[in-house]
Structure 1
Amino acid sequence: MNRDDAGDLLAFLAVARERSFTRAAAKLGMTQSALSQIIRNLEERLGMRLLNRTTRSVTPTQAGERLFASIAPKFSEIDADLAALSELREKPAGTVRLTATEYAASEIVLPALTKLLPKYPDIHVEIVIDYGLTNIVAQQVDAGIRPGELVAKDMIAVRVSPDLRMAVVGSPSYFAARKRPRVPQDLTHHNCLNLRLPTHGGSLYAWEFEKGGRELNVRVDGQLVFNSAGLLLDGALKGLGLAYLTEGHVQPYLSGGKLVRVLSDWCPPFSGYHLYYPSRRQPSPAFSLLVDALRYRGK
C-alpha cells in the first residue's frame, strides 16, 4: 500500500463514520470538493462504488461497509500504538476518547477528571454520550463505560462504581390523581416516559424488574419518548410521567421531595459501571492514568 492509498483510506473512513462529506472535510481540515475528489479517485482505483450519495445523506454501499469493517480496527490499532509512543515524553500527553451514558459521564468521569487534568495539562479527554453498546474499536474510541453485565467477555473491564439500582420515579403532582403502582404490571395504567436506544433498530428500552428470583421485562407506554436520560429526569420532575433511571441519578430529588419512588422492592442491585477496552490495546501513559483515576476502590 502506497502513501496515497493510506491517505485515501483515512478519508473514506472519515466520510463513512460521519455519514457526511461536510463534517468529514471539517475534521480532516480540507475542502468538501477536495475530499469528494479523493473518494472518487479511490473508487476508480478499486473499480467499485464505496458510498451512496444523495442530497440528504451519505451511506456506505455493501462494499463500503465491508471495507470499513476491515480497515477501521487496523487504523485504530495503529493510532493506539502511536499514542503509546508518548511514553518517550517527559510528561504524559495525548487525547483519550471515552463513550459513556450521561449519568456515568457526570457522576463518575467528571469528578475523576477534576483531580487528574490539573496535574497533567497535556492530557485531553473527549467524552461521547451514548446509550448503545458502542464498537469502540471500529469507532476509534479508546474505552467505554457501561454496567458490568453488558461488557463483552473478550474486553478488559475495570470497575469504576459500586453496584447500581434502578428506580421508578414520578412527581408528587403526577401521583396526586393516580394510584401508585404496586407491581410492575400496574405500569400499563400509567403514563411512562420512554427511552429510545440507538442499538437494536432504535427500539424502546424495556424496564427490567426482579423479585424473589422472578424477572420481568415490561414494555411501558406513554406520550413521550426521549433519547436522553437528562430529559427523562426533567419530564418526571415536571409531572409528565414516570421515569426509570439510575438510583443515584434521582436520589437528590427523592431526598428533597421533588420525586416519589415506587416499586423499589422490584429493583435489586446489579453490577456497577465498568470501564472496558480491548485486551490487545497497548495503553498509553495518558490512558493508564485515566483508568487509575476512574478505578473504584470501595468505601
Structure 2
Amino acid sequence: MRTFKHAAALLALTLCIGSAPAQQRVEQVQQGGQVVQDGIVVQPLSRTRSLAKRLISPEQVEQQASQQYVAMLSQAKEQGALYPATHPQVNRLRNIARRIIPHSTRWNADAQNWKWQVNLFNSDQVNAFCLPGGRIGFYSGIISKLHLTDDEIAAIMGHEVAHALREHGRERAGKAAATGLLARLGGAAASVLLGVDPNITGGFANAAGQLAVLKFSRDEEREADLIGLDIAARAGYDPRAGIALWRKMASLDERGAPIQLLSTHPGGEDRIAIIQDHMNVLLPVYARAKGTTVARLPAYRTTAIR
C-alpha cells in the first residue's frame, strides 16, 4: 500500500476559495478594518477575493475540488487505503461532523449548500484537511498516534473546516494564479498523493518552487483555531480540548515523529496562550450547549500519548 504524502494539505491550501456569504445570526461588531464576531477577531471575508476571483471562479474551484476529492477516494480505495463507511472510526468522524456542520453557517452562510463529505484514509500521517465545499479527510495516524478524544477530533475538524469557511487559501491561490501556478497545483497534488503520471497531472516540478505562497499566515491560523473551537463548542465539544491537542502535537513533534499538520500549522505555546485567552468566550458557549454553567463544568480529561 502506498503511503499518502503531502497532497491533502496542499489541496486544502490551494483550493479554499468560495463565494461571499451574508452573515446571519451572529454577534458581529466592526472594529477598524477587522470584525469581532462571537467574541473572536476575524478579517472580513472579502479582504483577498478580488484577484483570485478574477482568475478562477467559485464554480471552477468547486468543480476542481470535487474532482480531486473523487480521485483521492478512488485511488485510495484501489490501494486498500480507504476505510469503509461501516468502520467504527469512520462512524465516529461522521457523527462528530454531523454535530459540527450545522454551526458552520455562522461563519460562512454558503456552507449550508456545501456537499459535505467525511472520509478516513489509512495512513500513518498525523494530518487532516477540509477542501472547499466541505470535503473532509482524516488520516488514521492522527487518531491513533495522538490517542484523540472526541473533543480533540472536533477541535481538529473545526480547525480545518474553519480554514475552508474563512477562505484562507484565497490570497495564496491568487498569488499562485498570478504566477501561472494555480492551474497546475491540483494536478501536482494528485500526482504526489496518487502516483499519477506528472505529465498528466500538470507538472509538479514547476510548482515546487512556489509552495511557500501556500502557507497560512499566523493570523489565519489564529482564526482557524478559535473559529474551529467556537463551532465545536456550539456542537457540545469541550474547547479545552484545543489546549490538550496542541500540547500533544508538540510532544509528538519533540519525539521526532513527522507531523505534516505542523508543517503548515505552526505550533507552540503562543497559540495555546491565545486559546486560553479566549476561554472566557468559548467555555460559556460550551456550557450552554451542555445545559450547565461554566462553574459546574468538570475538568477536561484527555488520553496520554505513548
Query: TM-score, with normalisation over the residues of structure 2?
Result: 0.22
Structure number with larger C-alpha Rg: 1
Query: TM-score, with normalisation over the residues of structure 1?
Result: 0.22
User: Is the strand fraction higher in 1 or 2?
Assistant: 1
